[in-house]
Amino acid sequence: MLGSIHMLTGAAIGKVSGDFALVIPVAFLSHFVLDLIPHMDPETPKDFWKLGISKKNAWEILFKSLEPLVGIAIILSFSFTASSELGSVIFWGAFFAAIPDVVEFLGRLLKSRLVISFFEYAHSSLEGPRWWYTQWVIGGVALVVLLTC
């Protein structure tokens, strides 16, 4: 699932719950629930972890880098336009929903076999067709919740 979709979902959970103690575990667990839904992700180029950025993979790396920044910008706009308490819950919902991706990235960067094995197992449970639209539907629902509730 795209990072921005995880963040939007966590923010929507924060807005609906309005409860800081509840949003942390629910947003965190929502990450794994969303990853169980068949979806298509842009793959990290196989040579990236060995060679870094090259002409061959530059556009893919650019997308994978900018996409979460767009999500962060959207979340910050909702956080700052809500009341201070609700804005804080929205922000932390988005933050905790995105944490597993940060842990996975750091685990791969540091070559942690335990972290890599965990996330490869979690992502390998997906079988069947994968579609882009599942992410956009989930993100759209989260945006509607953020805009209307």
Instruction: Tell me the Ramachandran region of residue 53: left when phi exceeds 0, alpha when psi lies from -120 to 50, beta otherwise.
Output: beta
Identify the pLDDT of residue 52.
72
Report, as an integer, the average pLDDT of 140-145: 95
Who wins on pLDDT, 50 or 102?
102
Q: What is the pLDDT of residues 85-119, one digit of tens each?
A: 899 999 999 999 999 989 998 998 899 999 989 98
Q: How confident is the model at residue 124 (pLDDT cuts 50, 70, 90)?
A: low
Nearest to 146 by CA among 27, 13, 47, 37: 13
Share of the chain above pLDDT 90, in %: 48
